[in-house]
Amino acid sequence: MMNMILAKRPLGPNVVELVVEAPRIAARARAGQFAVVRLHERGERIPLTLADWDPGRGTITLVVQMVGKSTRELGERFGIGDTIRDVVGPLGSPSTIRRYGTVVCVGGGVGIAPIYPIARALRAEGNEVIAVVGARTKGLLLWLDRIAEVSSELHIATDDGSQGVKGVVTTPLQEVLATRKVAHVWAIGPAIMMKFCARTCQEFGVPATVSLNAIMLDGTGMCGACRVEVGGETRFTCVDGPEFPGDLVNWDLLLSRLGTFTYEERYALERYVAAQGGRS
């Protein structure tokens, strides 16, 4: 059966790693792309960046943060042997991988997982990869061993100082940019994190690429829900992105649009929790 979950493990509070049978996606996937998942016939479409894939085994790896109704349902009710109704991909334009020189890959929270294949591809192309990762606390850091394998340096920051330096990812990023000749930076994480990573890179005159997490429905460019403003022009995250130059993104507009369905998302989650007997 296609789209069967072959492996599942927790990575931290409300974060799970799923290995899913998807040979067609695994055969064509490239760094920076994503898939759209629909759990069942009545499910919503969830865009998830591809964290890893294995063409030989015909599998893809998804790292899911359980924050809303559908991601909670996927993480809590779907296990090994269960089948996901739809998994469509690979979608989006892949990362531009070439020989740059020294590059920095920044991952924040669950963004650490999707930055991994980009770092791996850049390393395979002969770049020196410096990794900067961060989270609120030590228990929310993930895939550190994988990131370390594909980077020459690994810098860690946590908000509470429980691992690495105390602060946000821009703290070690600034240090790296101030002391090394960096050709390019990639950043994946919460929108607010990427915004300030882009601003930090601007201060040092280093181009930064960010992977946007805009609201998305069909994932093929037809609905327009994922529109963002880049360089003063409207672009669609699903087909023109998800990666864009960080200095050209209208971050205030993106952050505003991300809150469009806050009430509906909260209502759906409350109904789901109630249906599960009130378990949080």
pTM greater than 0.75 (yes/no): yes
Residue 223 assigned as binding residue: yes
Tell me if 269 is assigned to some domain: no
Collect all residues with Cβ–Cβ distance below 8 Å to 137 and sequence separation of at least 6: 158, 159, 160, 162
82 and 109 share a domain? no
pLDDT at residue 279, rounded to an integer: 57
191 and 219 share a domain? yes
Residue 238 assigned as binding residue: yes
Residue 273 assigned as binding residue: no
Q: Which domain holds residue 194?
A: 102-258
117 and 86 share a domain? no
143 and 246 share a domain? yes
Tell me if 159 is assigned to some domain: yes
| pLDDT tens sequence across 180-218 | 999 999 999 999 999 999 999 999 999 999 999 888 888
Residue 197 assigned as binding residue: no
Tell me if 276 is assigned to some domain: no
197 and 243 share a domain? yes
Counting residues of the chain whose pLDDT is more than 90, the rounded percentage is 81
Residue 20 assigned as binding residue: no
Tell me if 162 is assigned to some domain: yes
Residue 226 assigned as binding residue: yes
Tell me if 268 is assigned to some domain: no
| pLDDT tens sequence across 175-189 | 999 999 999 999 999
